[in-house]
A and B are shown apart, each in its own frame.
Chain A
Amino acid sequence: MKKYSTVIITLVLFLILYAAGGMMFSGFFAPQVFLNLLIDNSFLIVTAVGMTFVLIIGGIDLSVGAVIAFSCMLLSYLVENMHMNWVLAVAVVLLSGCLFGFGMGCMIHYLKVEPFIATLGGMYLARGLCSVISEESISITNKALTDISQYQIKLPGSNYINVNVVIAMVVFAIAIFIAHYTRFGRSAYAIGGSETSAKLMGINVGKVKILIYTMNGLCSAIAGIIFTLYTLSGFPLRAIGFEMDAIASAVIGGTLITGGVGLVAGTLIGVSIYGVIQTIITFQGTLNSWWTRIAIAFLLCVFIVLQRVLVIRREKTKSSSKFLGNIVRRTSA
């Protein structure tokens, strides 16, 4: 139960926010509002899920926003200017995301570069390559992609979701499977807990680390494809600051930046909180969009302080019980 304590707090917070929104605005509780939340934030779900894994092994990845923009740009360019078959273009984009992640993972593990610096370099590279492809935005007119982006999957009660949400949910499900039902996932948690112990346990730390960064690159590429479907264009200045949104969602969802602790489900709730705040502000109508950032920052602050206080309290009780235990042992011996 203790493992889930932060996630439960996050869930309660989400419900409180949702209820507050419902009390403030009529029509907030309509199911379509919640589904719109998923539709509008599906790329953030995918990005944040990838970032959760990186945070679990104790690393960080600043390049996700740039890789998203690059994937967007590359997909638009391949489909519009080079008239490639869209399936092939999607495959190329996914491969490019994997390559980014793989490159950074190798730099971090083999060259022992700090994750911050290595992914900073990756971010610069992706942003630069984005502008190299094209300085202006490329709009997508390809029929297949526009059809997919506008396709609505009907749900009962005249509600709908679209393809992006399906992709996000599939990625989420696969992530939960990897994290909790495979040895790979458990190795990731072990490495985050203590890399030296993991190495001594016989875990191939290098392989797991590089794979996780590659996976994150793949997630960013998928998020980029989702984003392309969402906006139907590619633009080099897109997705600036996304990595911070992803990290904020993961941290609010209970993932510790130090690593070793984090639940993918928590990240989903973190993203939902982000979406709810955005929805409330949109419903409000008068507040500007930068209030979302201030609200997220405030929540982030509260959560981090809360995490820190809980950790301090846990350490205090541990040390005091050890102390008492020693006294008991010494007096009884």
Chain B
Amino acid sequence: MYYEHYSRGGIGMNSERMIRRFKKVSKLQVFWPLVVLLLVLLSNVFSDPGFFRIQIRDGHLFGSIIDILKNGSPLMIISIGMTLVIATGGIDISVGSTVAIAGAVAASLINGNMAFGIVILIAIAVSMGLGVWNGLLVSKIGIQPVVATLILMVAGRGIAQLITNGQIITVYYDPFFFLGSGYFLGLPFAIFLVLLVLVIALFLVKKTAFGLFLQSTGVNSSSSRLSGVNVKGVIFFVYVFCAVCAGIAGLIISSNVKCADSNNAGLFIELDAILSVALGGNSLQGGKFNISGSLIGALIIQSLTTTIYSMGVSPNITFVVKSIVVVIICMVQSDALRSSIKGAISKRREREVS
């Protein structure tokens, strides 16, 4: 074993150790998403050389990277919730409607002389209620997640319109804007909300048995049930958690636009969230999951949007770029493609040797 290094010749021991370490790191689930994120961020340098510059202005950090973090906060929070739902093998396409409803509830109550904290709590409680609805449909009655959340998705914006009486309610309450646009300790406050949700999620998943139960449910729910895992409870909880995440994101979004727009708030955000989870290397079938991967996926999507804006291209091109990204990611993640490429390479090696 020790002599192999000498007989191979040419490759020194140090570079071999580096190659081995690289292979180990590249097997981490977050590796490829990080690489993609870096590529997207670096591509910005061509159009904007000062992209990575961070200055201090108005008493807080200022720069394109800070903007990406701030604007991507709602998507990051929803992606955390969505990761847990997808880990059970389910899906939640109603988060966009929950965003709209949470914003509508907050906006209509704030103008009504209620304490600010109470309004936030009520908005979160309403989102939790929507999560309970989804959770009951999927876990108790056993309806397929796509269809169960489809119901809320279809009805949700109508309900939001009901709450706002069909109007776009503008908010005139300054402390509300702090959620989305305020700065705390130099960083955007929204990032702290992301960190809060992330810490809670990581604690649940890594420091309690819940993470294990979740992964087990996703891999095989029947054997989990037979092993004594409370599968229905796990599934119920993740839908409630996801809806609460969507509620928080809805508050941030309506704080950013300073109004509650039931038609456009969170439009297509469910698709972006699912894309973030997939970009993070998580399988949509459920099972093993990685929350950090989804966060990086959300950052990739936000960076893509920012890159496209800064290049001066029409924002609708975002859609085309997103679809190309989807195709590339799926091709890279697709085992079928990878094995056929490996097969082609090994066949060529055989031909070269013989």
Residues 238-275 of chain A, each 1 if its beta carbon lies under 8 Å from chain B, else 0:
00110010011001000001100000000000000000
Judge whether A151 is part of the interface by a CB distance below 8 angstroms. Answer: no
A128, B146: Cβ atoms closer than 8 Å = no
Q: Does A312 contact B (CB under 8 A)?
A: yes
In the complex, chain A residues whose CB is within 8 Å of the CB of B152: 297
Query: Could you say which residues of chain A place their CB within 8 Å of the CB of B271?
Result: 62, 120, 123-124
Q: How far is the CB of A132 from chain B (nearest CB, A)?
A: 7
Indicate if A143 sits at the interface (CB-CB under 8 A).
no
Is the pair A248, B316 in contact by a Cβ cutoff of 8 Å?
Answer: no
Taking the complex as formed, is A176 at the interface, i.e. its CB lies under 8 A from any CB of chain B? no
Check if B38 is an interface residue, CB within 8 A of chain A: no
User: Are A290 and B330 in contact (CB-based, < 8 A)?
Assistant: no
Instruction: Decide if B34 is an interface residue (CB 8 Å cutoff).
Output: no
A-side contacts of B335, CB under 8 Å: 112
Please report which residues of chain B, range 123-158, place their CB below 8 angstroms from some CB of chain A when the two chains form the complex: 137, 141-144, 146-148, 150-155, 157-158
Q: Is the CB of B323 within 8 A of A251?
A: no
**Number of A residues with CB within 8 Å of any CB on chain B:** 47
> Given contacts A244-B150, A300-B150, is CB(A294)–CB(B159) below 8 Å?
yes
Complex CA gap A5/B90 in Å reads 28
Question: Chain B: which residue is nearest A240 at the CB level?
Answer: B267
**Chain B interface size, under 10 / 10 to 19 / 20 to 34 / 35 or more:** 35 or more
Closest chain B CB from A237 CB (angstroms): 10
Binary contact track A97-139/B, C-beta < 8 Å → 1, others 0:
0000000000100111110111011111101111110010000
Residues of A within 8 A of B29 (CB): none
For the complex, is B248 an interface residue (Cβ under 8 Å from A)?
no
A291 to B154, CA, bound (A): 11
Judged by a CB distance under 8 angstroms, whether A45 is at the interface is no
A296 contacts chain B at the CB level, 8 A cutoff: yes
| A224 on interface, CB distance cutoff 8 Å | no
Contact yes or no, A304 B316, CB < 8 A: no
Q: Chain B 244-274, CB within 8 Å of chain A: the 1/0 string?
A: 0000000000000000000000010001001
A114 to B91, CA, bound (A): 13
- Are B330 and A251 in touch, CB under 8 angstroms? no
A298 in the interface (beta carbon within 8 A):
yes
**By the criterion CB–CB under 8 Å, are A113 and B334 in contact?**
yes
Complex Cα distance A267/B144, Å?
19
Q: Is A305 an interface residue (CB 8 A)?
A: yes
B154's partner among A111, A114, A120, A293 (CB-CB below 8 A) is: A293
On chain B, the residues within 8 Å of A312 by CB distance are 142
With contacts A113-B330, A117-B330 taken as known, whether A300 is within 8 angstroms of B319 at the C-beta atoms is no
- Please indicate which of the listed interface residues A110, A240, A293 has the most CB atoms of chain B within 10 Å of its own CB: A293
> Could you tell me if B326 and A110 are in contact, using CB atoms closer than 8 angstroms?
no
| Bound form: Cα–Cα A114–B148 in Å | 19
Interface assignment of A308: CB less than 8 Å from any CB of chain B: yes
Contacts of B153 in A (CB 8 A): 244
Select which of A110, A125, A236, A297 is within 8 A of B320 by beta carbon. Answer: A125
Q: Is B326's CB under 8 angstroms from A131's CB?
A: no
Asked if residues A111 and B151 are in contact (CB atoms below 8 Å), the reply is no
What is the distance, in angstroms, from B352's C-beta to the closest C-beta of chain A? 28
| B327 with A135: CB separation less than 8 A | no
- Contact bitstring B62-73, A, C-beta under 8 A = 1, else 0: 000000000000
A288 sits at the interface (CB 8 A): yes
Is B284 located at the chain interface by the 8 A CB criterion?
Answer: yes
- Asked if A301 is an interface residue, CB under 8 A from chain B, the answer is yes
* Residue contact B154 to A297, C-beta cutoff 8 Å: yes
Q: Does A225 contact B (CB under 8 A)?
A: no
Asked whether any CB of chain A lies closer than 8 Å to the CB of B166, the reply is yes
Q: Which 3 A-B pairs have the closest CB atoms?
A: A131-B316, A128-B320, A128-B319
17 residue pairs A–B, Cβ–Cβ below 8 Å = A111-B334, A111-B336, A111-B337, A113-B334, A117-B326, A120-B326, A125-B320, A125-B324, A128-B323, A132-B320, A135-B314, A240-B267, A244-B150, A257-B144, A257-B146, A290-B162, A300-B151
List 14 extra interface pairs beyond A117-B326, A117-B330, A290-B162, CB under 8 A. A111-B334, A116-B284, A117-B278, A121-B322, A124-B271, A125-B319, A128-B319, A132-B316, A132-B317, A135-B314, A251-B147, A294-B158, A297-B154, A297-B155
* Residues of chain B having any CB pair with chain A under 8 Å: 91, 137, 141-144, 146-148, 150-155, 157-159, 161-162, 166, 267, 271, 274-275, 278, 284-285, 314, 316-324, 326-327, 330-331, 334-337
Q: Which residues of A contact B (CB under 8 A)?
A: 60, 62, 107, 110-114, 116-118, 120-125, 127-132, 135, 236, 240-241, 244, 247-248, 251, 257-258, 288, 290-291, 293-294, 296-298, 300-301, 304-305, 308, 312
